[in-house]
Amino acid sequence: MVSYSIVDTGDSRSFPEDHPFLAGSGAEGEVVAYIGAGAISAWQEDLSRTAILVELHTETLGEVTGESRGEEGSNTIGFSRFRVGDGAPSDLVELVRQPHTDPAALEAARMVLEGAGLQVSECFDFAGRILDRLIRPYYNEALAKLDEGLATADDMDLTVKLGLGYPEGPIELLERTGLHHHHDVTQALFEVYGTRHYAPARRARVAKKRAKRGLS
């Protein structure tokens, strides 16, 4: 069992409410996890720890630790519990490593998170990590096809659920969790990669403008 402590900086997207991961922390530990909106600012390098976890949103781990010649890596690891907008976080945590991340740190981080009942995937330090890079173009395409009149929102959602076995269609999921959040994620990815697949869909742009005006 790996002991760990948590530095909670508030408004964590990964852990917005009570969870075994929060309950299992102590005052000190081999691992320290910085969570919340201020996690990156609060992060401190500490080579005496086996691992340091830093909660990410759209940021890359290099924005925390710095980068140099493609040889970056230490005992600091980024993480994000996958969540779409205002929806409940899933049980999947994406661990973000760098080219020379300490293997012992990765193993300790995995043990801490899996010990709290979470599922862990590992990826290199790319904006959007695995899931956002895969699913955001899919959401954008669904929104574009709705604009083009391919089918009604209800028919597209039903087709995806019955044809692919998804529990929820793309349009209903984005509207339930907040289209303006989809805008923010895709805009961040578009600024990094510059491809049309990540450009925020028209409906997401409209939702963002309405959210800025305090409208739903």
pLDDT (0 to 100) of residue 165: 96
Residues 149, 134: Cα–Cα separation, whole Å: 24
Encode pLDDT of 33-43 as tens digits. Answer: 999 999 999 99
* Statement: residue 216 has pLDDT above 90: no
Task: Give Cα separations from 95 to 8, 100, 155, 186, 212 (angstroms).
Answer: 18, 14, 36, 20, 32
- Separation CA 148–CA 138 (nearest Å): 15
Q: What is the pLDDT of residue 1?
A: 86
Evaluate if pTM is beyond 0.85.
yes
**Mean pLDDT on 76-103:** 98
Closest CA to 109 of 164, 37, 180, 34: 34
